[in-house]
Amino acid sequence: MCRRLTVYGTFRYNDCRMKNPRRYGSAPFSTAVIHGGPGAPGYMAPVARELSSNWGVLEPIQTADSLEGQVQELRIILKKNADLPVTLIGSSWGAMLSFILTARYPELVKKLILIGSAVFDDRYAAGIQQTRLGRLSAPQRKEVESLTYSLNDPSVKDKTKLLARLGDILLRADHYNPLTLDIELLEDQYDVYQKVWKDAERLRSSGMLLELGKNVECPVIAIHGDYDPHPVEGVERPLTPILKNFRLFLLKNCGHLPWIELEALDEFYRILKDELR
């Protein structure tokens, strides 16, 4: 398993030091792609590569194991490496993290793009797992239930492989017609996932997540797939009343990661590149 370094300049993957953030294209680096999970580094690399022919792109790798730690880690990485203010492109949990950072440090961000965002109100989270399970075969559902039980069992010590397997199964339920299921994930980080997501759920359930949104000053764009199990209503309805400049693009026949969807890929990149120009 990869040994991570909680050092803002580098991280370790398969015993090799890799720079944090990874860089694509050439300066100015005024765009950053923010991965989700929490604890699923690397999967935004295809988006960064696609954009790098026209823009310098940073790919920060999250290593901190608390929400506040990840906010501060991202802030430091951007201040040290980016040409500020930046356009933040956050995916899934990365969209929520980017939203929090933008609200806390509005001077760092000129535009915020949320891709397949996690929902911003608990009311819309309840049905996500049921939607996923409904798209799986009976054997797959049984395995998901077994993996979930083991992940919640304190006596099970090494849960990283279990989380990776669960992610592999749910990836199939999250997408409509994927070109690939190899999303270039560097590693699954169970401890990061568990600790950071608990912080995020507390922030969301308290109402403070949406309260933070009142401090967001820049334009916010949401790009969401109509097949994403994270319901688009959980992004659009909470954010529309609190954001001054908010627009939503709904992609047809598209799941959680639009850049792997055969039928949505071109439209996704057209929208994204238009917003960066």
Residue 21 has pLDDT above 90, yes or no: yes
Q: What is the mean pLDDT of residues 127-150?
A: 93
Q: What is the mean pLDDT of residues 160-169?
A: 89
- The whole-chain average pLDDT of the chain stands at 91
Label residue 34 exposed, middle or buried (CB < 10 Å: 0-12, 13-18, 19+).
buried
Of 11 and 233, which is predicted with more confidence? 233
Query: In this predicted structure, what is the pLDDT of residue 18?
Result: 66
Residue 263 maps to a domain:
yes
Query: In this predicted structure, what is the pLDDT of residue 42?
Result: 92
12 phi and psi angles, rounded to 5 deg: -110, 130
> What CATH number is attached to the domain comprising 50?
3.40.50.1820
Residue 1 has pLDDT above 80, yes or no: no
Domain boundaries, position 158: 10-276
**pLDDT band with cut points at 50, 70 and 90 for residue 15:** very low
Residue 12 has pLDDT above 70, yes or no: no
Residue 5 maps to a domain:
no
Residue 1 maps to a domain:
no
DSSP letter for each residue of the chain: -PPP--BTTEEEETTEEEESSEEES-S-EEEEEE--TTT-TTTTHHHHHHHTTTSEEEE-----SSHHHHHHHHHHHHHHHS-SSEEEEEETHHHHHHHHHHHH-GGGEEEEEEESPPPSSGGGTTTHHHHHHHTS-HHHHHHHHHHHHHHT-TT----HHHHHHHHHHHHHHT-SSBS-S--------HHHHHHHHHHHHHHHHTTHHHHHHTT--S-EEEEEETT-SS-THHHHHHHTTT-SSEEEEEETT--S-GGGBTTTHHHHHHHHHHHH-
Cα dist. 35→44, 72, 88, 91, 145 in Å? 6, 15, 11, 6, 26
Burial 234-259 (b: 16+ CB within 10 A, else e): bbbebbeebbeebeebebeebbbbbb
Of 2 and 101, which is predicted with more confidence? 101
**pLDDT band with cut points at 50, 70 and 90 for residue 39:** confident
Query: In this predicted structure, what is the pLDDT of residue 22?
Result: 94
Angle (CA) 116 249 274, round 5°: 105
**pLDDT band with cut points at 50, 70 and 90 for residue 156:** confident
Domains identified in the chain, total number: 1
Q: What is the mean pLDDT of residues 234-250?
A: 96
Contacts of residue 272, defined as CB under 8 A and 6 or more positions apart, other chains included, come to: 47, 51, 89, 113, 223
Residue 184 maps to a domain:
yes
**pLDDT band with cut points at 50, 70 and 90 for residue 5:** very low
pTM, entire model:
0.91
Residue 4 maps to a domain:
no
Residue 232 maps to a domain:
yes
Residue 2 has pLDDT above 50, yes or no: no
**pLDDT band with cut points at 50, 70 and 90 for residue 6:** very low
